[in-house]
Amino acid sequence: MFGFVSLQGGRPGIRTRAVSVARHRFLAYDTFADSGPPGRQLKASMQLRLDVVRQAEVAVVRCRGRIVFGQEVDDLRLTVLSLLKETNRVVLDLGGIEQIDSEGLAGLVGLFISARNRSGELKLADMSPKCRDLLRVTRLDEVFRTYKSVDEAIAAFHRVKAAATGAKPRAEEETQF
């Protein structure tokens, strides 16, 4: 498919260019079908955007983009770990996630364990059907607490707090998810 020239006998830049072309073609298959040059598609689709909002003593991380191997998983990990220093209640809003790969799943499991080790809890909310199916297939839906919306996840934190203090929950808080 690609001819490689020895660095000793040929020009030194040919092998590097061939590997670069092969890598570019391989990565181009992993991008979304947007218009524009392949490099622009790859860069735009690989970004993970994180917005942190605090609601009722709970840190909510709104995620948009992809949770995949590389900088995306690292950014998510650093963000959640820094929040766990301030609060032990974190909700990941995955409504804007287009793709999660195996490293992304491993990152979520690692964050779950980190939260538990700090006497905290990590909940997942507003997942797309694709993300929900991925958790079901990998049986991680038995590990994570998932909720249809961020508000439901926050309400679940308050039910646990009310039960710990002995307060009786209001009628609307008694519903099961």
pLDDT at 61: 98
CB hemisphere CA count around 88 (13 angstroms): 10
Q: 155-164, long-range: CB within 8 Å, 24+ apart, which pairs? A: 156/123, 157/56, 157/57, 157/58, 157/89, 157/121, 157/123, 158/56
Higher pLDDT, 107 or 8: 107
Chain segment 133-170, per-residue pLDDT in tens = 999 999 999 999 999 999 999 999 988 666 666 655 44
Q: Which of 66-70, 107-111, 160-164 has the lowest mean pLDDT?
A: 160-164
Number of helices followed by number of strands (H, E) in the chain: 6, 5
pLDDT at 23: 38
pLDDT at 159: 84
Q: Which fold has domain 48-173?
A: Transcription Regulator spoIIAA (3.30.750)
Higher pLDDT, 55 or 4: 55
- Rounded to two decimals, the pTM is 0.67
pLDDT at 46: 52
Q: Evaluate if residue 172 carries a pLDDT over 70.
A: no
Q: Where are the domains of the chain?
A: 13-45, 48-173
